[in-house]
Homo-oligomer: A and B are copies of this chain.
Amino acid sequence: MSADDSFPIPETKVLAIASHVVYGYVGNTMATFVMQSLGCEVAALNTVEFSNHLGYGQAKGTRATAKEISDIYEGLKNSFLDDFDMMLSGYLPGAASVEAVGIIARDLKLKAALKPGSFFWVLDPVMGDNGKLYVAEDVVPAYKNLIKDADLILPNQFEAETLSGVKIVDMETLKEAITTLHERYRIPHIMITSISLPNPEGTASLSVVGSTFTSGAKPRIFGVKIPVIDCFFSGTGDMFAALLLVRLREAVNAMEGLMQKAAWVSDDDVEATELPLAKATEKVLASMHEVLKKTKEKRDEEWNKFQNRVTGLGEDDEQTIRVVKAKAAEVRLVRNLGCLKHPDVRFRAEKV
């Protein structure tokens, strides 16, 4: 067997519902390739088709309507092509689409009801960031309704606050937010993908914080600290989600019998840092840190080249600068597959 043929997980069919961009890596364009490279069969249902991500300051393209999303799923069903093991949902263009995806997910869950653990839904509730919504207001209640059926949600800090109603300012409120999400919505697994809290040492650091609930819906919280790379990248949330889907399945598959348990919830005696979700997160962050470090090096090279070539840029050139920066910072994915396939774990989960 050559290195190419070794994959971390058994054959896995994933329905991926998110955006498509022609150039660059966000949404399904990121997630599809990541999951395929790790051996998944990915059915990419694209909710938008845009020329590029919105970090460029402009884009052209179209959004799918809720009906178009539902129709495609009907087409899949008509051809007996709805035998998915997992689902990953990301950006959805409006409340009606959120509802349409809820109907799809519940249909897949229902079909799997007699075989616990045979279908698992990873939901990224894309709504906003840094204190701001970037979807319409009515998307928030639609998501609050949707997440009740998800197995794992991946909100960022702002989205976790929006869904839980708890403003996260310290460790206590962080625990409160996670507890609320577990208890109110009965979500088995939660992963907050970026937490930035005032740091007593004054050093820049970013954490991800996760939890798998116990049989009594109590949280088991762990966190992983990662060094900050000083650059804005697009699509990293989608990369995180795609990698986590694969690595969680891998970690669950390694635990005798866990794959046959509803929502893959570990027994109550499993410690937070020993959860498959924690083990998976360590690998995901290792891969991401390597890819983004390499991306940052290339990004700096390109940006320096541009600055040396073009002189005398003024305020009118703001859009040009924005575009050049966005392009230079596109994640270097295709040629860094080794980082995805063979993560060198260095950041460990700690109990919170």
Residues of A at the B interface (CB closer than 8 Å) are 2-5, 7, 11, 20, 22-24, 29, 33, 36-37, 39-41, 43-46, 49-52, 56, 58-62, 64, 68, 71-76, 78-81, 323-324, 326-327, 334-338, 341-342
A335 touches B76 (CB 8 A): no
The 4 A-B pairs of least Cβ separation, nearest first, read: A51-B75, A60-B75, A4-B338, A23-B81
A49 touches B36 (CB 8 A): no
- Bound CA span A33–B22, Å: 14
Copies of this chain in its oligomeric complex: 2
Decide yes or no: A75 and B61 within 8 Å by CB, A39-B335, A335-B5, A335-B7 being known contacts.
yes
Q: How far is the CB of A179 from chain B (nearest CB, A)?
A: 37
CB-CB nearest in chain B for A2: B338
- Name the one of B33, B60, B75 contacting A50, with C-beta atoms under 8 angstroms: B75
A68 touches B59 (CB 8 A): no
CB-CB nearest in chain B for A335: B39
- Bound CA span A74–B49, Å: 14
CB-CB nearest in chain B for A55: B79
A23 touches B337 (CB 8 A): no
Instruction: Give the interface centre of A7, A45, A46, A75 by most chain B CB atoms within 10 Å.
Output: A75
A to B CB contacts below 8 Å, 13 in the list: A2-B338, A4-B337, A22-B76, A33-B33, A50-B75, A51-B76, A52-B81, A56-B79, A59-B75, A59-B79, A60-B72, A61-B75, A79-B327
B23 touches A341 (CB 8 A): no
A79 touches B61 (CB 8 A): no
Decide yes or no: A60 and B81 within 8 Å by CB, A5-B338, A36-B334, A72-B22 being known contacts.
no
Decide yes or no: A5 and B41 within 8 Å by CB, A72-B22, A75-B61, A80-B324 being known contacts.
no
CB-CB nearest in chain B for A324: B80
- Bound CA span A59–B74, Å: 9
CB-CB nearest in chain B for A17: B22
B79 touches A23 (CB 8 A): yes
B residues in contact with A40, CB < 8 Å = 334
Instruction: Give the interface centre of A39, A46, A71, A80 by most chain B CB atoms within 10 Å.
Output: A80
- Bound CA span A23–B46, Å: 12
B60 touches A71 (CB 8 A): yes
CB-CB nearest in chain B for A334: B36
B residues in contact with A342, CB < 8 Å = 2, 4
CB-CB nearest in chain B for A15: B22
- Bound CA span A40–B334, Å: 7
B60 touches A327 (CB 8 A): no
Instruction: Give the interface centre of A56, A74, A326 by most chain B CB atoms within 10 Å.
Output: A56
- Bound CA span A52–B82, Å: 11
- Bound CA span A60–B45, Å: 12
B58 touches A75 (CB 8 A): yes
- Bound CA span A328–B243, Å: 28
B residues in contact with A326, CB < 8 Å = 79
